[in-house]
């Protein structure tokens, strides 16, 4: 009977005195019994951890120390407290303790939530290299510096590292390696990766010691690179922006390095000084190279010296002959040595200038071309096949043309460049720009009355230049107008000529504005009704159009009326219309007419007409 809390031991013994036990044999077993005092339900703390697909996890191992262990785990993929991670994802498991569990007071219950992230195994990834600044005696959790893509189950190794914690016990620069391999959780077999953590540990009460330096006058130096291990590198060098030392005058320079309160591991301003000795430098500089084109301009070798090279040296060719200039007449590679006499062990005694002379490409293949002026062809329309083709107006390739320059009849020149940037000689292109010209018209022949009902064909008949004529309603573009279209007073018509031989149309059209003239009556002086359709009747042009209410009477020389008519009657053809004269044709002779216009303002007109046969 468990009458008091504590740990008790009970021994169970079996020997020869018991039933069915051989004589002279005995055995015993020990029972250790922990007797707990009943308490309120306590499921412990919520937990979150990672797992891998197909991993089996005993969840009881993740219970917090104060949790009652007789509770129950419920949730996806949980059986008897074992979580089987069969698929990637985030899962929630609930651990519950209540009065049904051992040593739990009646009426009490508690639960804890286990959030489990199940990951799919992947190749090892230690993430990025890191650089960390720390102070002496600082403790750093290196896992907090892992990059986001790093697998977190790897191992940190290096000085002053224990279980991923770096203990900065002394100033200096330290290297820690983070390794992930197949022995870590969720890492594929046969893969490994590592990242390097560089940790600079600085003292809190000292700036560190900087040794005096000797530099050559032609060398620009980043002073931060001379700081030794343990020197706090977050300070500033007075007078030298970004720590760049670029003094070129020989001599001694005192440099002050300072830290202020903004620097890590510094409790107050700190500074130290050191001396930089700058030595005079004479140097041939670094090696140089230049690429030229065959048959290019002669060059002076000293023009291609490296920027830090001292002047006054000598160039020699491969046969050790002094050389000042070089004429690139032959393709190939040529090496020249530049030599100076150095001092103070600063700089290089020699450097090389490598001159590469590249072949010229062939001139592009071209053909002569023809265009119509109306197309407005430009240099871009020359369309010569080649590599990086360039066009010029002269054979010497001195006047380069733009793609938008308009072509005219003449000779153009094309070149091409190869991959070395060398340009070929020019190839000539003969360009012909055809234009039938603007049509001309003899407008002085035109008398266009509104009653004539003239058509566009009347204008075409007045064209005095060659080519097939087409009339348009606009100076450019527009629509063609039929030859049968009636002319419109005040409208401008535009004529273009087409040359069948070249297939080109006028670049500039003829503009002609139609203006109707006043329609003057034309009175015939005689008629000859002989059936030849010429003056067969007395037809006064425009009379009916101008005076639709007119009346006409014609008399013979004795004053007898031989004809009476108006707009509704046929024109007089030399026969009488008055019954008193019969129906015979009238004799040849002079007849007299009287016209009443009947418009209320125009006076009557009298005249004579000669009748002949």
DSSP string, 85-136: --SSEEEEEEEEEETTSTTB-TT-EEEEEEEEEEE--B-------EEEEEET
Per-residue pLDDT, 582: 62
223 torsion bin: left (phi>0), alpha (psi -120 to 50), beta (else): alpha
What's the pLDDT score for residue 584?
A: 77
Angle at the Cα of 535 (from 531 to 539), degrees rounded to 5?
A: 120
Alpha helices in 225-273 (DSSP H): none
- The string of DSSP codes covering 307-363 is TTPPSS-EEE-TTS-B-SEE---S-EEEEEEEE----TT-S-SEEEEEEEEEPPPPP
- Tell me: domain 47-119, CATH 2.60.40, correct? yes
Q: Average of pLDDT values for 347-376? A: 95
Q: Given pLDDT bands bounded at 50, 70 and 90, which one contains residue 347?
A: confident
Strand order in the sheet with 390-392: 369-372, 427-434, 410-415, 390-392
Q: What DSSP letter does each residue of 20-35 carry, written as one string? A: T--TT-EEEEEEEEEE
**Token output for 394:** 């002269």
Confidence (pLDDT) at 355? 97
Instruction: Judge contact between 334 and 317, C-beta under 8 A.
Output: yes
Give residue for tokens 């089996």: 56
User: Please, what sign has the CA dihedral across residues 231, 234, 238, 242?
Assistant: positive
* CATH match for 526-611 among 1.10.287, 2.40.360, 1.25.40, 2.60.40: 2.60.40
What does the pLDDT average to over 32-39? 80
Residue 557 pairs with which residues in a beta bridge? none
**CA distance linking residue 5 with residue 102, whole number of Å:** 14
Q: Tokens 């790897």 — which residue?
A: 154
Q: Compute the residue count for the chain.
A: 613
Q: Is 53 left (phi over 0), alpha (psi -120 to 50) or beta?
A: beta
- CA–CA gap between residue 408 and residue 443 (Å, rounded): 31
Q: Please, what is the end-to-end C-alpha distance for the chain in angstroms? A: 169
The CA angle 390-391-394, to the nearest 5 degrees, is 130
Return phi, psi of residue 520, to 5°: -85, 140
Question: What letter does residue 421 receive in the DSSP assignment?
Answer: -
Cα gap 382→412, rounded to integer Å = 9
pLDDT at 455: 93
What's the CA gap between 180 and 196, in Å, rounded?
12
Write out pLDDT tens, residues 209-236.
Answer: 899 999 988 889 999 999 887 788 889 9
Percentage of residues of the chain with pLDDT beyond 90: 68
Dist CA 33 CA 31 (whole Å): 6
> Exposed e or buried b for every residue in 523-547, given b needs 16+ CB within 10 A?
beeebbbeeeeebeebebbbbbebb
Judge: domain 130-202, CATH 3.90.230.10.
no
Mean pLDDT of 121-134: 93
pLDDT at 541 over 80: yes
Taking residue 198's Cβ as centre, other Cβ atoms within 10 Å add up to 13
583, pLDDT greater than 70: no
What is the DSSP annotation of 209-238?
Answer: ----EEEETT--EEGGGG--TT--TTSEET
pLDDT tens string 587-606 = 999 999 999 999 999 999 99
pLDDT for 383 equals: 87
CA distance 488 to 453: 9
- At 73-90, the pLDDT tens digits run 999 899 999 999 999 999
pLDDT above 70 (res 305): yes
Tell me the average pLDDT across 16-28. Answer: 87
Q: Could you give the angle at the alpha carbon of 318 between the alpha carbons of 316 and 321, nearest 5°?
A: 40
- Collapsing DSSP to helix, strand or coil, 519 comes out as coil
Instruction: Answer for the pair 484, 474: CB distance below 8 angstroms, yes or no.
Output: no
Read off the pTM.
0.47
327 band by pLDDT with thresholds 50, 70 and 90: very high
Tell whether the model's pLDDT for residue 206 goes beyond 70. Answer: yes
- Pick from 20-34, 181-195, 404-418, 444-458 the range whose average pLDDT is largest: 404-418
pLDDT-based confidence at 613, cuts 50/70/90? confident
The tokens for 201 are: 């540990």
Residue 249 in this model has a pLDDT that exceeds 80? yes
531-540 residue pLDDT tens: 888 999 999 8
The span from the CA of 411 to the CA of 395, in Å, is: 9
DSSP three-state, residue 456: helix
Task: Assess if CATH 2.30.30 describes domain 288-358.
Answer: no
Interacting residues of 325 by C-beta distance below 8 A, sequence separation 6+: 298, 299, 300, 301
Residue 381, both tokens: 């329309």
Sign of CA dihedral 480, 483, 484, 488: positive
Helical segments of 454-570, H only? 456-460, 543-546
CA separation (Å) from 515 to 448, 454, 521?
Answer: 7, 12, 18
């Amino acid at each position: 009977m468990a009458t008091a809390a504590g740990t008790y031991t009970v021994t169970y013994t079996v020997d020869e005195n018991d039933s069915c036990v051989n004589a002279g044999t005995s055995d015993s077993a020990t029972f250790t019994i922990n007797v707990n005092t009943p308490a309120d339900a306590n499921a412990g703390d919520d937990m979150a951890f990672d797992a891998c697909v197909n991993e089996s996890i005993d969840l009881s191992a993740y219970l917090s120390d104060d949790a009652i262990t007789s509770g129950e785990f419920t949730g996806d993929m949980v059986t008897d407290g074992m979580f089987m991670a069969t698929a990637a994802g985030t899962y929630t498991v609930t651990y519950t303790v209540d009065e049904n569990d051992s040593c739990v007071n009646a009426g009490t219950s508690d639960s804890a939530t286990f959030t489990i992230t199940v990951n799919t195994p992947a190749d090892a990834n230690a993430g990025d290299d890191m650089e960390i600044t720390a102070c002496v005696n600082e403790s750093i959790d290196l896992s907090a510096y892992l990059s986001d893509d790093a697998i977190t189950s790897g191992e940190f190794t290096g000085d002053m590292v224990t279980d991923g914690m770096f203990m900065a016990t002394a100033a200096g620069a330290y290297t820690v390696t983070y390794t992930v391999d197949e022995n870590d959780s969720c890492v594929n077999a046969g893969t490994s990766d590592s990242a390097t953590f560089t940790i600079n540990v600085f003292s809190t009460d000292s700036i560190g010691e900087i040794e005096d330096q000797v530099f050559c006058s032609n060398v620009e130096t980043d002073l931060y690179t001379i700081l030794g291990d343990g020197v706090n590198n977050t300070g500033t060098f007075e007078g030298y922006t970004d720590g760049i030392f670029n003094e070129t005058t020989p001599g001694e320079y005192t440099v002050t390095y300072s830290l202020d309160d903004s620097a890590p591991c510094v409790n107050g301003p700190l500074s130290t000084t050191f001396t930089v000795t700058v030595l005079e430098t004479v140097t041939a500089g670094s090696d140089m190279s230049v690429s030229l084109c065959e048959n290019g301009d002669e060059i002076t070798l000293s023009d291609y010296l490296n920027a830090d090279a001292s002047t006054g040296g000598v160039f020699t060719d491969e046969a050790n002959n002094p050389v000042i200039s070089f004429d690139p007449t032959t393709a190939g590679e040529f090496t020249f040595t530049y030599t100076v006499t150095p001092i103070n062990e600063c700089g290089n005694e020699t450097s090389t200038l490598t001159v590469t002379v590249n072949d010229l490409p062939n001139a592009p293949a071209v053909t002569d071309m023809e265009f119509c002026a109306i197309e407005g062809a430009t240099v871009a329309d020359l369309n010569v096949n080649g590599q990086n083709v360039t066009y010029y107006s002269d054979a010497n390739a001195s006047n380069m043309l733009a793609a938008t320059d308009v072509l005219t009849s003449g000779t153009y020149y094309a070149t091409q460049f190869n991959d070395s940037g060398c340009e070929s000689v020019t190839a000539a292109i003969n360009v012909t720009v055809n234009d039938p010209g603007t049509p001309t018209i003899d407008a002085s022949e035109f008398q266009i009355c509104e009653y004539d009902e003239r058509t566009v064909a009347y204008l075409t008949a007045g064209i005095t230049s060659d080519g097939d004529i087409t009339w348009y309603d606009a100076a450019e573009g527009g629509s063609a107008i039929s030859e049968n279209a009636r002319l419109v007073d005040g409208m401008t018509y535009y004529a273009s000529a087409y040359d069948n031989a070249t297939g080109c149309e006028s670049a500039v059209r003829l503009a002609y504005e139609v203006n109707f003239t006043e329609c003057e009556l034309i009175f015939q002086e005689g008629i000859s009704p002989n059936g030849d359709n010429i003056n067969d009747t007395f037809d006064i042009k425009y009379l009916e159009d101008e005076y639709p209410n007119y009346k006409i009477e014609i008399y013979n020389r004795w004053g007898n009326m031989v004809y009476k008519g108006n707009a509704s009657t046929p024109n007089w053809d030399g026969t009488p219309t008055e019954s008193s004269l019969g129906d015979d044709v009238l004799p040849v002779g002079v007849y007299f007419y009287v016209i009443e216009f009947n418009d209320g303002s125009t006076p009557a007109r009298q005249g004579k007409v000669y009748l002949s046969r």
